[in-house]
Amino acid sequence: MKLWRSPLAWTFLASVVLLLGVGGWLLADPATSRSEALKTGGLAGGAVVALYALWLNDRRRRVEERRQDIERRRHELEAQRAEQDRERVADERFAKSVELLGHDADQVRVGALHALAGLARSRPDYTQTVLDVLCSYLRRPFEHPGSPSDDPELDRELTVRLTAQRLVSDLLPARDADAVAYDLDLTGAHLEYLNLAGKLIGGLLLRYASLRSTTNLSGCRFTGGVYFTAAGTTTGRQVGYFRCRGAVFESRAWFSGTKFAESVDFTGTTFAGPANFKDAKFAEDADFTDVVVTESLDLRRTSFLGHADLRFASLPESVSLYNTLVRTEKDVRLPEAWAQEVLPDGKARVVAKAG
């Protein structure tokens, strides 16, 4: 019974039937020779066999395609399962590292910071999240020990914080890299030796931050808004210089109310968006040589108490100079379009020349 269910058996039967039928029909014609009749019958039967071979080949092709599709889906499922496993391990690693940031031992906290940085390097999609965690650690309340310090616990915590700052810098791409520009939120943070020189940064929030020792932003490229509102530089373990040479601010740069306790250097920096220094105070020397400002510059109530070089390379049409003060006994260099208006108290107001 199984034999008659086979397509091959029916093909053979149909071939024989055609051979006999066509051959017999042609043999009945006196004009047809026996050899011609058998030849034509054989061709008819062979055509059936050829059709069966074509059908069989197509069936094998479809079976192979289905097998390959099943294999592809299996590989996709295995890849998805492996990716889910990696994500689960990464999530567990992240959660454990964050938990260890609250450990009492400073060496454990340092290890947790390095674990987070390692996670960001192996899983780039975690980078912004890890940077957010590092910044949140730096925003924690902290009483700077000063120098020298008589509190070992504060010294150890400062070491942990310096590690966090270095890892933040390490995770940021280079200035000209074709990479994601990550945001940093360091609002109210107490920072020392902050060095982000030559890095590509999205937005930077340093409102009300305390910047001790040298702060170096030279060569940075900021693609988002930068806010130093009411921040301040001061002496830490070393003098609190502020270096921002050759940086590029593509969006707004807000230094309103910032207090610079030591010398400031913006030489060659470009402000492509609004630059706001309203109510800023420069206690020592300030250098703005070759600075380019393209949109607007706000120097209202800005005070320059040391030597000041304000010879900008390019100034926008919108410049606000209301109550911009310099010291008459200091070396003050101004653009040709500006002048000093001497006041009775030994200060001078910077004003735009008439016409």
Per-residue model confidence as pLDDT tens digits over 216-269: 999 999 999 999 999 988 776 677 799 999 999 999 999 999 999 999 999 999
| Better pLDDT: 27 or 343 | 343
In the predicted model, is pLDDT for residue 75 greater than 60? yes
In the predicted model, is pLDDT for residue 81 greater than 50? yes
- What is the percent of the chain with per-residue pLDDT over 90, rounded to a whole number? 59
Q: Which three-class secondary structure state does DSSP give residue 179?
A: coil
- 276, two tokens: 């706001």
pLDDT of 149 reads 63
pTM, rounded to two decimals: 0.77
pLDDT of 213 reads 87
CB atoms within 10 A of CB 24: 11
pLDDT class for 1, splitting at 50, 70, 90? very low
Distances (CA, A) of 33 to 44, 219, 288: 17, 100, 112
3-12, 110-119, 153-162: range with lowest mean pLDDT: 3-12
In the numeric block, the tokens 């109510």 are attached to: 279
pLDDT class for 93, splitting at 50, 70, 90? confident
pLDDT of 255 reads 97
In the numeric block, the tokens 């039928």 are attached to: 21
In the predicted model, is pLDDT for residue 174 greater than 80? yes
Q: How far is 60 from 68, CA to CA, in rounded Å?
A: 12
Q: What is the pLDDT averaged over residues 176-199?
A: 95
In the predicted model, is pLDDT for residue 13 greater than 60? no
pLDDT of 24 reads 53
Starting at the edge strand that comes first in sequence, how are the strands of the sheet with 324-327 ordered?
190-192, 210-212, 232-234, 259-260, 281-282, 303-304, 324-327, 347-352, 338-342
49-58, 215-224, 327-336: range with lowest mean pLDDT: 49-58
pLDDT of 334 reads 95
pLDDT of 26 reads 47
- 241, two tokens: 């210089």
